[in-house]
Amino acid sequence: MKRRIFKAIWVVAIVVFLASFLFILGIGYSYFSDVQFRHLRDQSRLVKEGVILGGQDYIDSLDPINYRITWIQSDGTVSYDSRADINKMNNHADRPEFIQAMETGYGESSRFSDTLAERQIYSAHRLPDGSVIRVSFTHVAMWALIPAFSQPILGVLILGLIVSLFITAQVAKKITEPINEIDPDNPTQYYDRHDYKEVEPLLRRIAHQQSQLKSDRSAIERASLIRQEFTANVSHELKTPLHAISGYAELLEKGMVRTEDIQPFASKIRTESGRMTKLVEDIIDLTRLDNGESEATWESCDLYRIAENAIDSLETAAEASNVEISLTGGSTPIRGVPQDLYSIVYNLCDNAVKYNKPGGRVDVTITSGPREIRLSVKDTGIGIPEESRERIFERFYRVDKSRSKKAGGTGLGLSIVKHAALTHRARIELKSKVGEGSEFIVIFPKERD
Q: Which residue from 241, 336, 360, 381 is in contact with ligand ADP, where contact means CB under 6 A?
A: 381
φ/ψ (deg, to 5) at 41:
-60, -45
Is residue 374 part of the contact set for ligand ADP (CB under 6 A)?
Answer: no
CB 397 → ligand ADP: shortest distance, Å?
6
Binding residue for ligand ADP (CB under 6 A) from 409, 420, 426, 441? 409
248-256, 269-277, 299-307, 345-353 -> range binding ligand ADP (CB under 6 A) = 345-353
Q: How far from the centroid of its chain's Cα atoms is residue 420's Cα?
A: 35
Stretch that binds ligand ADP, among 61-69, 99-107, 130-138, 403-411 (CB under 6 A): 403-411
Q: Which is nearer to ligand ADP, 72 or 289 (CB)?
A: 289
Q: Is 399 a residue that touches ligand ADP (CB under 6 A)?
A: yes
Q: Which is nearer to ligand ADP, 130 or 385 (CB)?
A: 385
Which of 385/445 has CB closer to ligand ADP? 385
The nearer residue to ligand ADP, 70 or 347, going by C-beta atoms, is: 347
Residue 107 or 360 with smaller CB distance to ligand ADP: 360
User: How many residues in the shown chain lie near ligand ADP by CB under 6 A?
Assistant: 24
Nearer to ligand ADP, 122 or 396 (CB): 396
CB of 221 to ligand ADP, least distance (A): 25
CA distance 424 to 337: 8
Least distance to ligand ADP, CB of residue 421, Å: 13
Which of positions 16-75 make contact with ligand ADP (CB under 6 A)?
none
Stretch 298-337: interaction string toward ligand ADP, x if CB under 6 A: ----------------------------------------
202 binds ligand ADP (CB under 6 A): no
List, in order, residues 6 or more apart from 200 with CB less than 8 Å away: 190, 191
Evaluate whether 52 touches 128 at the Cβ level (below 8 Å): yes
Q: For 107, how many CA atoms within 13 A lie in the half-sphere containing its CB?
A: 19
Instruction: Kindly write down the DSSP assignment for every residue of 404-421, as one continuous string.
Output: HHHTT--S-HHHHHHHHH
Q: Which of 48, 68, 374, 398 binds ligand ADP (CB under 6 A)?
A: 398
Rounded to whole angstroms, how far apart are CA atoms 424 and 237? Answer: 29
Q: Assess 345 for contact with ligand ADP (CB under 6 A).
A: no
Task: Assign 330 to helix, strand or coil.
Answer: coil
- Which DSSP string corresponds to 162-187? HHHHHHHHHHHHHHHHHHHT--TT-G
Q: Is 379 in the site for ligand ADP (CB under 6 A)?
A: yes
Report the chain's C-alpha Rg in angstroms: 54
Q: Which stretch binds ligand ADP (CB under 6 A): 36-44, 65-73, 90-98, 381-389?
A: 381-389
Answer for which of 123, 304, 410, 424 binds ligand ADP (CB under 6 A) is 410
SS3 232: helix
Residue 70 or 351 with smaller CB distance to ligand ADP: 351
If one counts every other C-beta atom within 10 angstroms of the C-beta of residue 47, the result is 22
352 scored as a contact of ligand ADP (CB under 6 A) = yes
N-terminal to C-terminal alpha carbon distance within the chain? 53
**C-beta pairs of 207-211 under 8 Å, 24+ apart in sequence:** 210/184, 210/185
Interaction of residue 380 with ligand ADP, rule CB under 6 A:
no
Among the listed ranges 116-124, 145-153, 215-223, 350-358, the one in contact with ligand ADP (CB under 6 A) is 350-358
Q: Is 392 in the site for ligand ADP (CB under 6 A)?
A: yes
Instruction: Kindly report the length of the chain.
Output: 449
**Strand positions, DSSP E, 253-292:** none
Of residues 140 and 399, the one with the C-beta less far from ligand ADP: 399
Check residue 343 for interaction with ligand ADP (CB under 6 A): no
CB 125 within 8 A of CB 70: no
Residue 337: what are its φ and ψ, rounded to 5°?
Answer: -100, 110
Could you say which DSSP state residue 190 is in? G
Stretch near ligand ADP under the rule CB under 6 A, chosen from 3-11, 103-111, 230-238, 377-385 = 377-385
Q: 3-class SS at 196?
A: helix
User: How many whole angstroms separate alpha carbon 72 and alpha carbon 90?
Assistant: 11
- Residue number, 113 or 438, with CB nearest to ligand ADP: 438
Smallest CA-to-CA distance from 134 within 89, 195, 179, 191 is with 89
**C-beta closer to ligand ADP: residue 376 or 438:** 438
Decide: residue 133, CB within 10 A, 0-12 exposed, 13-18 middle, 19+ buried.
buried
| Residues near ligand ADP, by CB under 6 A | 347, 351-352, 354-355, 379, 381-384, 392, 397-400, 404, 409-415, 438
